[in-house]
Amino acid sequence: SDEILTTDVLVIGSGPAGGSAALFLATYGVDHIVITKYRWTANTPRAHITNQRTVEIMRDMGIEDDIKAQGTPPDLMGDTVFCTSLTGDEIGRVRTWGTHPARKADYTLASPSENCDLPQTLFEPILVGRSAERGSRIRFDTEYLSLVQDDAGVTVTVRDRLSGHTYPIRAKYVIAADGGRSKVAEDVDLPFEGEMDLAGSMNIVFHADLARLVEHRPSVLYWVLQPGSEIGGIGMGLVRMVRPWDEWLVVWGYDINQPPPQVDDAMATRIVHDLIGDDTIPVTIRSTSLWGNNKRYATRYRAGRVFLAGDAVHRHPPSNGLGSNTSVQDSYNLAWKLAMVLKGQAGEGLLDSYDAERAPVGKQIVLRANKSIEEFGPIFDALGVSSTPDPEQQTANMRARAGNTPEAAAQRAALLDALELKNYEFNAHGVELGQRYRSGAVIGDGTPEPGYIRDSELYYHATTWPGARLPHCWLGTDGGHKVSTHDITGKGRFSLLTGISGEAWAEAAVGAARSLGIEIDAHVIGPGRTHTDLYGDWARLREVPESGCVLVRPDAHVGWRAHELTADPEKELTDVLARLLDRA
């Protein structure tokens, strides 16, 4: 028939951004279709570090157990090694991903969820499987070709890659999550800053039993510095665990200004053996691929009814492990807003808050990841490999650090300082959890932004300042079981947290929800109420008196807070929500 396929939201792409957008929309009951170019999900492991914020979001979706079941847990992730090969000289170790005992406390206090290592090849099938189960209609082998928009919607032309048949899909909104080479971003002429393809990297996925070489220093990452072999790229080889300890991925640089290398099995095996430092270990090459290191971000994420998410709008190296995480978090920010607009619970102006909130995050992570690459420089300097191009001299300079001379002592001290800097790549908890949004979907309380007591990139600072992520702490149910503040919020709804002297806020929330036709979960925290403040942590974290309240958005960011009970709390709450939701 000539009837055109229609849907509320068309999602283009099924990577971390598109796959999670589908999961959120399906969970929120929004009608949508996903199209994705290939026959299945990512075919190589690619992104893997899955940070607490992402696991927390999956917890909100009710699938944290899927992530934990497939991910490698933190205790096998954190002894990041710098060496000349896996069998060679160990240059130093950095405890990473929050595994330093002192940092572990920061991570444990900040979230109900632990980070883990979950390769994209395992993550995407979880996202896609769970969304399909909840109602997503996912069309594989279906390629986006072009789009035209008008006041009421977007008409997207797609091609079925099996039959070659081209057909239109009509959607009210489009989420374009078509990755780092986004055709949609080009077609809607999104403004970008920065450059692409600054350096070339090659991924080699292989099987080899390396347990004997790594089990005593379990890590996701083994950085290998071999004078004479490094060209372009990140300047050193990386041996990355995919599955402990027999599936691996090597990242190796190549000169992007030369024609791309033809990587056959023999070449891949030689590179792998060099980095292991033992060519008697059996290695089976699974795949090789080339990719570029980018430093490019969009300054706008929206063109009319088309919203872009993920690598389509922020393109950067894997440093800090932020690629997939930020992509999921973009979609999480967008999905509840689209759901509320489509359900008639919010005005279209709410959608303006998407790029207001996420574009600064995209810029931040692109710059952070690139800076982390530059911050390998001091390690090279300390080892004496940047002062000469001669590999033999470089090797001699590296070895010189073992000498009993004042120069060698200075070299050792410089190396320690240089390794310390890597905390900004591997323990950047503030970058991972510390986003504070500013937009029309955040109503300020007139207080100035709280400052940072510790380094803002390394440390997460819990605050209920409007725009910040709701601080986590454990509360008690009436049976004394522990639930996180993040467990009683989210679920696609607004929530309100108050204390016994603020009980009237909870009643006000019922009235406001009724008059606005939205859902608000109100929780009174105190003895004999819905939840108890088990350890007194909420009282220490909430930053408002017991008679105040904290209004939490569906994405667990604070939308507004009150410092006291006002004369007409229902009117105040209704007004605030009306503004936030563009209903005023």
Please identify, using beta-carbon distances, which residue of 42 and 94 lies nearer to ligand FDA.
Answer: 42
| Separation CA 95–CA 454 (nearest Å) | 19
Cβ neighbourhood burial of 191 (10 Å; 0-12, 13-18, 19+): exposed
Contact between 82 and 379 under an 8 Å Cβ cutoff? The reply is yes
Residues contributing to the site for ligand FDA (CB under 6 A): 12-18, 35-38, 44, 46-47, 120, 143-144, 177-180, 183, 203, 289, 291, 310-312, 318, 321, 323-324, 327
Question: To the nearest whole angstrom, how small is the minimum distance from the Cβ of residue 537 to ligand FDA?
Answer: 32
Q: How far apart are CA 325 and CA 362, in angstroms?
A: 11
Our CA dihedral for 57, 461, 333, 43, rounded to 10 degrees, sits at -50
Q: Which is nearer to ligand FDA, 164 or 446 (CB)?
A: 164
How many Cβ atoms sit within 10 Å of the Cβ of residue 211?
Answer: 12
Cβ–Cβ < 8 Å for 105, 1: no
Distance in angstroms (rounded) separating the CA atoms of residues 327 and 51: 12
In 3D, which of 32, 31, 5, 1 has the Cα closest to residue 157? 5
Q: Kindly tell me which of 43 and 386 has the beta carbon lying closer to ligand FDA.
A: 43
As measured in angstroms, the least distance from the Cβ of 184 to ligand FDA is: 8
Q: Closer CB to ligand FDA, residue 309 or residue 516?
A: 309
CA distances from 90 to 80, 402, 576 (A): 11, 12, 58
Q: Which is nearer to ligand FDA, 12 or 76 (CB)?
A: 12
CB of residue 42 to ligand FDA, shortest distance in Å:
6
User: Which amino acid type is present at position 383?
Assistant: L
Closer residue to ligand FDA in complex, CB, 8/311: 311
Least Å distance, CB 136 to ligand FDA, is 13
Task: In angstroms, give the least distance from the CB of 227 to ligand FDA.
Answer: 24
From start to end of 185-236, where are the E strands? 192-207, 221-224
The values of phi and psi at residue 283, to 5°, are -130, 130
CB count in 10 Å sphere of residue 521: 18
The distance of closest approach from Cβ of residue 387 to ligand FDA in the complex, given in angstroms and rounded to an integer, is: 30
Least gap, CB of 353 to ligand FDA (angstroms): 20
Task: For residues 149 and 153, give the distance between their C-alpha atoms in angstroms, rounded to a whole number.
Answer: 6
What does the DSSP assignment read for 48-80?
-EE-HHHHHHHHHTT-HHHHHHHSBPGGGTBEE
Picking from 122, 73, 119, the residue whose alpha carbon sits closest to that of residue 98 is 73
Cis peptide before 245 (omega within 30 of 0): yes
Our CB check for ligand FDA shows the closer of 226 and 329 to be 329
Closest CA to 473 of 78, 9, 110, 83: 110
- Closest to ligand FDA by CB, 200 or 323: 323
Closest to ligand FDA by CB, 207 or 493:
207
Q: Which is nearer to ligand FDA, 144 or 297 (CB)?
A: 144
For residues 225 and 382, is the Cβ–Cβ distance under 8 A?
no
Which residue, 81 or 497, has its beta carbon nearer to ligand FDA?
A: 81
Considering the complex, what minimum distance in angstroms separates the CB of residue 178 from ligand FDA?
A: 4
Q: Report the nearest approach of ligand FDA to the CB of residue 32 (Å).
A: 15
Half-sphere exposure of 258 (CA within 13 A, CB side): 10
Residue 184, classed as helix, strand or coil, is helix
The smaller minimum CB distance to ligand FDA, of residues 237 and 318, is found at: 318
| Alpha carbon distance 214, 223 (integer Å) | 12
Q: Which is nearer to ligand FDA, 15 or 153 (CB)?
A: 15
Closest CB 340 distance from ligand FDA, rounded Å: 23
Beta carbon nearer to ligand FDA, 252 or 538:
252
**Shortest distance, position 150 Cβ to ligand FDA, whole Å:** 22
**Integer angstrom CA distances of residue 425 from 78, 317, 365:** 13, 11, 11
Please tell me the distance from the alpha carbon of residue 40 to that of residue 124, in angstroms, as a whole number. Answer: 9
Could you tell me the CA-to-CA distances from 77 to 73, 99, 117, 211, 333 in Å, in that order? 7, 8, 7, 14, 28
Phi first, then psi, for residue 560 (nearest 5°) are -175, 160
Shortest Cβ distance from residue 389 to ligand FDA (Å)? 28
Smallest distance from ligand FDA to CB 489, Å: 26
Which amino acid belongs to residue 172?
A: K
